[in-house]
Structure 1
Amino acid sequence: MQQIYTPEEKRKRIFGIVGAASGNLVEWFDFYIYAVFAIYFQHALTAPDMDDTTQAIYVWGVFAASFFMRPIGSWLFGRIADKYGRKRSMVISITLMALSSFLFAALPTYAQVGMLAPFLLLFVRLLQGLSVGGEYGAVATYMSEIGLKGQRGFFSSFQYVTLIGGQLLASLLSVIILFFMSEQQLMDGGWRIPFVIGGVTAIISLLTRRKLEETLVQDETKSEDSGTMRALFRDHWKSFLLVVGYTAAGSLTFYIITVYSKTYFTKTLGMDGQTTGIMMTCALFVYMIAQPFFGYFADRVGRRTAMMLFAGLMAIFIYPVMVIGMSSFAHSPVIITLLLIFLMLILSFYTSISGLVKAEMFPPHVRALGVGFSYAVGNALFGGSAPAVALKFKEMGIENDFFIYVIVMLIICFLCSLSLPKKPKFLEHEH
């Protein structure tokens, strides 16, 4: 039976969704600026005696390393969210992202400080990884708790609307900047501009988040187990492993399709950066607006069914589309974009409800920690490493075999999805 809300309560809940989502948009915009502009700052921040491939492997290795800060960030901010409130955790994480974005914009080049430059690049990127690690769990928890019952799939999908929106804005920003600047000007220092913009937008988001309503009930913070790893692994280790299992494949395919594909188009298919940016921007826009429809679909058919559709369909199509389809139509940006959108729509079965599925598996006193930490572990091991691993396969001359590895992970995800409960044990009867 669907709960009836007063107009005032409904307004407050929707404002909470918008407030959390807008901060999430900025957080991920700042995070993805790195991926979009990596090709332009890799020469400035790495040793000039490296060849292009070695520089790219280092820069994407730093990208992967930032994901290993996510478990630390999810533990730290998850504990804050479960012990002191979801709102406080989200405010601190966006503050850290603002700081790290401004620091990134001020990074000295290799020509200025030598070997210190790549180490400073790593340090600042680790700060961003720490911030995003705390962001995911707190936002997924907050949005699942404040969403309207019976419509939680729809409302929770806006976490990925804004996550994708952040990536879309980063991609769109590259198109706009390339319209006014040449690629050489970007390499000569123009790459700093997006990070300044990211820092400013993070400060604006901080002001919005301070007005959010808290969803954590005070009684849930009094337990000694609130926000502790001890309680998570003692009582909910099975849920933790299950979430890691399907997060691994979900994150792996997400970063292949939305991040590595740009490198794949330029390095393997030989497309120019501006065309690739336009293609990615168009595809991400369709992907973004599709999320609420897939969230609504999951509300109707169930989260378990949606997860199985993602893993099964992606395992079937990712190899023929990426290996055969993309190379066969490398001369047609329109067809490549349509193939990219096709994969993104399959991915939407997962992304639209991934945060909600995780939140439904943990009780309130360890929810933010459970959601964030399990996601961060799966993401660090398989998601963030995807571009660097794919490039390593390419360097070894077996680039296509990388997608076989992806299919194996999707099969594991399908088996994990079979174990998902048809009805959630937690969340549905709360608030």
Structure 2
Amino acid sequence: MSTEYSAQEKRSRISGIVGAASGNLVEWFDFYIYAVFAVYFTHALTAPDMDDTTKSIYVWGVFAASFFMRPIGSWFFGRLADQHGRKKSMVVSICVMAVSSFLFALLPTYEQVGLLAPFLLLLVRLLQGLSVGGEYGAVATYMSEIGLKGRKGFFSSFQYVTLSGGQLLASLLSVIMLAFLTKAQLEAGWWRLPFVIGGCAALVSLFARRHLEETLSTKDSHQEGSGTLRELFKNHWKRFLLVVGYTSAGSLAFYTITVYSKTYLSNTLGLADQTVGYIMTLCLLVFMIAQPFFGIFADRLGRRTAMLAFSGLLAIFIYPVMAIAMPYFASQVWLVAILLVFMMLILSFYTSISGLVKAEMFPTHVRALGVGFSYAVGNALFGGSAPSLALQFKAVGFENIFFIYVSIMLMICFLCSLAIPKDPEYLHQEP
């Protein structure tokens, strides 16, 4: 298993990890500022005669709808990555995110254009979903290929360091803006600023990505069936379904704990917006820092062990922590934060290696497509719908049933994880 690398090659590969990860940070920051600032642009972009719950369901429904663009994005960018290079795919996806972020900042309000406002909100969000759909597969593939052998879990964990870092920066930005602006001022138009910042950051990250080392060989790019769904479904459909299986539960758990929990703390536990901002920022910081340590765990004890720990532990704890303990300790903010950190640490068994586990299941010539498309399908069906579905359960008075649903999906993930090979790296080819 050991492979010797020269000092120059180590520096080159680490530089590649940093370059890919920095763009990933910006992509996910741009994507998650929607979730963080949704409460402030909801009234501006929806009909004034709708009640607050209906408005929230629509806005989070748009959030869920954007996930259905991910399969299209993963197909387009996955094909591009497998046929023309990982680097080109990542450069194009960050450009699309930059454009969509600037368009979001320019959205007209319902007062200005009527029903066109929520429709334009949907269109711009779908464009963001297209970009992120292509981002995940290309980055996961690139980082799995350029990481040092024997330490791939550690290096691949930086995909979620930057992914959670994007969430963290979005949450931190909301804390800073709330310190200087009132809720009324944010609702009046200052909610546009984060999208301007995100668009500018995306343009800056282009520089890092334009200098990445390509990992796709000419031989693999020209192999018959490279980057095609026909090849993926004809020869690798079993692995595809397996990856969709554990991605569905992983994505559902991820969006429940890191995205919906913000709404849960505000709407269900009744915590103040600024308090929720502090809690989410602190928890996401811990979550981000934890990723490399869990990546090292997977390198030493195996990917399958990590996946089984994630699905088994979270299936046991998701309901008692979220539905019972958090409401019980709602008046003790520090305990709520500890409980949320606990959930994020269990989640880290999955997030630290999720991209790597997927990448190691597919051969090089369909790797980006296989990773991205399976991830996008799982996200579209289960991940992106989490906040909207949870709110619909809440609207009919059965919010806690949602956590039972998450637990059942995690049990399915546990069964899927049993089928992960103990040493799947035989599929991996050094660039």
What TM-score do the two structures reach when normalised by structure 2? Answer: 0.99
CA deviation vs aligned residue, 1:385-413 (integer Å, no higher than 9, x gap): 00000000001100011111111100000
Query: Partner of 1:28 in structure 2?
Result: 28
Q: Indicate if the aligned counterparts of 2:78 and 2:372 stay in contact, CA closer than 8 A.
A: yes
Query: Partner of 1:85 in structure 2?
Result: 85
Alignment of 1:213-224 (within 5 A): 213-224=213-224
Q: Is 1:409 paired with 2:409? A: yes
One-letter amino acid of the counterpart of residue 173, structure 2: L
Q: Is 1:142 paired with 2:142? A: yes
Query: Partner of 2:97 in structure 1?
Result: 97
Query: Partner of 1:389 in structure 2?
Result: 389
The 2-side partners of 1:249 and 1:215 are apart by 30
Q: Is 1:63 paired with 2:57? A: no
CA deviation vs aligned residue, 1:247-273 (integer Å, no higher than 9, x gap): 011000110111101111111111111
The 2-side partners of 1:215 and 1:226 are apart by 15
Alignment of 1:132-281 (within 5 A): 132-281=132-281
One-letter amino acid of the counterpart of residue 365, structure 2: H
Structure 1 range deviating more: 165-174 or 219-228: 219-228
Q: Indicate if the aligned counterparts of 1:361 and 1:426 stay in contact, CA closer than 8 A.
A: no
Q: Indicate if the aligned counterparts of 1:302 and 1:422 stay in contact, CA closer than 8 A.
A: yes
CA deviation vs aligned residue, 1:282-335 (integer Å, no higher than 9, x gap): 000000000000000000000000000000000010100001110011001111
Q: Indicate if the aligned counterparts of 1:45 and 1:110 stay in contact, CA closer than 8 A.
A: yes
The 2-side partners of 1:208 and 1:420 are apart by 34
Is the partner of 1:148 in helix, strand or coil?
coil
**How far does residue 84 in structure 1 lie from its aligned partner after superposition?**
0.1
The 1-side partners of 2:165 and 2:181 are apart by 23
The 2-side partners of 1:426 and 1:24 are apart by 27
The 1-side partners of 2:70 and 2:203 are apart by 22
Shift of the 371–416 alpha-carbon distance from structure 1 to 2, 3 Å rule, reads: same
Structure 1: segments with no counterpart, 5+ residues = none
Is the partner of 1:406 in helix, strand or coil?
helix
The 2-side partners of 1:254 and 1:15 are apart by 28
**How far does residue 425 in structure 1 lie from its aligned partner after superposition?**
5.3
One-letter amino acid of the counterpart of residue 53, structure 2: T
After superposing on structure 2, the runs of 4+ consecutive aligned residues of structure 1 that deviate more than 2 Å are 425-431
Q: Indicate if the aligned counterparts of 1:145 and 1:427 stay in contact, CA closer than 8 A.
A: no
Is the partner of 1:397 in helix, strand or coil?
coil
**How far does residue 428 in structure 1 lie from its aligned partner after superposition?**
3.8
**How far does residue 2 in structure 1 lie from its aligned partner after superposition?**
1.1
Cα RMSD for the two superposed structures: 0.7
One-letter amino acid of the counterpart of residue 172, structure 1: L
**How far does residue 217 in structure 1 lie from its aligned partner after superposition?**
0.5
Q: Indicate if the aligned counterparts of 1:42 and 1:59 stay in contact, CA closer than 8 A.
A: yes
Q: Indicate if the aligned counterparts of 1:149 and 1:428 stay in contact, CA closer than 8 A.
A: no
The 2-side partners of 1:92 and 1:224 are apart by 24
The 2-side partners of 1:65 and 1:80 are apart by 24
**How far does residue 222 in structure 1 lie from its aligned partner after superposition?**
1.0
The 2-side partners of 1:213 and 1:108 are apart by 41
Q: Indicate if the aligned counterparts of 2:164 and 2:284 stay in contact, CA closer than 8 A.
A: yes
Is the partner of 1:47 in helix, strand or coil?
coil
One-letter amino acid of the counterpart of residue 259, structure 2: V
One-letter amino acid of the counterpart of residue 275, structure 2: T
One-letter amino acid of the counterpart of residue 134, structure 2: G
The 2-side partners of 1:8 and 1:72 are apart by 38
Is the partner of 2:176 in helix, strand or coil?
helix
Query: Partner of 1:118 in structure 2?
Result: 118
The 1-side partners of 2:66 and 2:210 are apart by 27
CA deviation vs aligned residue, 1:81-131 (integer Å, no higher than 9, x gap): 000000000000000000000000000000000000000000000000000
CA deviation vs aligned residue, 1:170-212 (integer Å, no higher than 9, x gap): 0000000011100000000010000000000000001110000
**How far does residue 427 in structure 1 lie from its aligned partner after superposition?**
4.2
The 2-side partners of 1:70 and 1:62 are apart by 13
Query: Partner of 1:323 in structure 2?
Result: 323
Query: Partner of 1:296 in structure 2?
Result: 296
The 1-side partners of 2:339 and 2:366 are apart by 40
Q: Indicate if the aligned counterparts of 1:33 and 1:195 stay in contact, CA closer than 8 A.
A: yes
One-letter amino acid of the counterpart of residue 369, structure 1: L
Shift of the 429–215 alpha-carbon distance from structure 1 to 2, 3 Å rule, reads: closer
One-letter amino acid of the counterpart of residue 374, structure 2: S
The 2-side partners of 1:421 and 1:219 are apart by 27
Q: Is 1:371 paired with 2:371? A: yes
The 1-side partners of 2:197 and 2:329 are apart by 36
Is the partner of 1:68 in helix, strand or coil?
helix
